[in-house]
A and B are shown apart, each in its own frame.
Chain A
């Protein structure tokens, strides 16, 4: 059994026009670890996630998954690699032309070629796992509340039992109680699957609940990386400012929205 990290990034750079978003970023996530990346709005957290999953291609650097460099591989190989991944999007990104259960079963039917009846029974089981009854299965996404959409998104992300799951701001837009419910679900589902996860968030309550380890993204780099227990004694002025949500400190917020 090798001890190679599940996900390993080194020297990853990504720019959009003149704006450098990721500037030689290094990061590694061990198998079964839950890493939460914190950072302000517009600091490139989403870009980082999209580079790892393959929705964006970095300009420089290497990304290894299970020790294999994914950037040098063919499109076809990368698409195959996708079956290892699940992702919960910020706005849930449910397909609004499909019913709830078809959303959850989408990967099973389209990518794995599973029969509809079998896929539906798995979808219902996953929906139950995230606390939704079978009467929700035949609704369309626009009939659901924000919290329910997140649950369906989570069910879809875990439906094919992926090895790696990405969470993009899982609690944004939810009330504190629903946010905590979603956090609990994430922790339980991930533990059941034994999956490796990377979460990006600026919600510290969520970060403390989900994380084994935390990394802070600032100015295109991971400026601090350590265990959850150490975050309050990081000795890093940037981290302290962020976790306590102070306006004053070394981090200067750019006065433009993301």
Chain B
């Protein structure tokens, strides 16, 4: 096959997908502001995204915070800068690791489940059935998931931040001989409002991305079980990449040197 044909085909496919995603997102946002809202569906989704994700997000934060503290200690010991450990841990967790790792774990759990559920509804004509029953699928399926994602992720990330810092605190006080009181004082002194706000903004953006990718890939899945499988994979992969990209953009914008 001609190399130019391949490049052209890939470019066209890419642009078509981008256009379809933009249309999908704008439809969803339009229905987000127009009544009616399906409150019961929002509540259900908040349980699925938020509450059910607590164990996995909490454990991730605990282990990461603990490992981070150990690494920072070993690294800073060489410059006799062990006293900065608490500050580095809290800033790293709140600014980056809490929201990013929390977002990625939830993406793995939730984007895939959303894509599989909506994808199955697509291939078994349940979405068509919704339309014939005068119910807009964007309103009934997509909007509740987007709202639940944007509301619950910040809550999860607050929990992740606290547990992450606590993981570092455990290693510092139980293993490395830090004084608990002074560790917490340093932690509180170095944490600024900007850190917390940026952490929550990131979480809300990631929540939107997670729900959007799950819904989009499910909504446009075709071709039976195989298609649903493909949609699930694509939802997780694209959510991961978009979360990391969005994180970079927000970090650069908020924390200018």
Chain A contact residues, CB within 8 Å of chain B: 50, 53-55, 79-80, 82-83, 85-87, 89-91, 93-96, 106-107, 110-111, 156
Which secondary structure dominates where chain B touches chain A?
helix
| CA of A50 to CA of B133, assembled, Å | 14
| CA of A208 to CA of B133, assembled, Å | 29
Q: Does residue B13 face the partner (Cβ distance < 8 Å to A)?
A: no
Give chain B nearest CB distance to A20 CB in angstroms: 20
Q: Are A89's CB and B134's CB within 8 A?
A: no
Q: Are A82's CB and B129's CB within 8 A?
A: no
Quick one: given A91-B124, A93-B124, are A111 and B134 in contact (CB under 8 Å)? yes
One of B121, B126, B128, B135 near A111 (C-beta < 8 A): B135
The count of chain B contact residues (Cβ–Cβ below 8 Å) is 14
Given the complex, which residues of B lie within 8 Å of A110, measured CB to CB? 133-135, 140
| CA of A234 to CA of B126, assembled, Å | 38
Given the complex, which residues of B lie within 8 Å of A93, measured CB to CB? 124-126, 128-129
Q: Are B128's CB and A50's CB within 8 A?
A: yes
Interface string of B124-142 (1 = CB under 8 A from A): 1110111111111000100
Given the complex, which residues of B lie within 8 Å of A95, measured CB to CB? 121, 126, 129-130
One of A50, A83, A89, A111 near B129 (C-beta < 8 A): A89
Q: Are A79's CB and B136's CB within 8 A?
A: yes
Q: Are B133's CB and A107's CB within 8 A?
A: yes
Within 8 A of A (CB), among B35-56: none
Given the complex, which residues of B lie within 8 Å of A96, measured CB to CB? 126
Chain B residue, CB-CB nearest to A85: B132
A-B residue pairs in contact (CB < 8 Å), sample of 24: A50-B128, A53-B132, A54-B131, A55-B132, A79-B134, A80-B134, A85-B132, A86-B132, A87-B129, A90-B125, A91-B124, A93-B124, A93-B125, A93-B126, A94-B126, A95-B121, A95-B130, A106-B133, A106-B135, A107-B133, A110-B133, A110-B134, A111-B133, A156-B129
Q: Are A83's CB and B125's CB within 8 A?
A: no
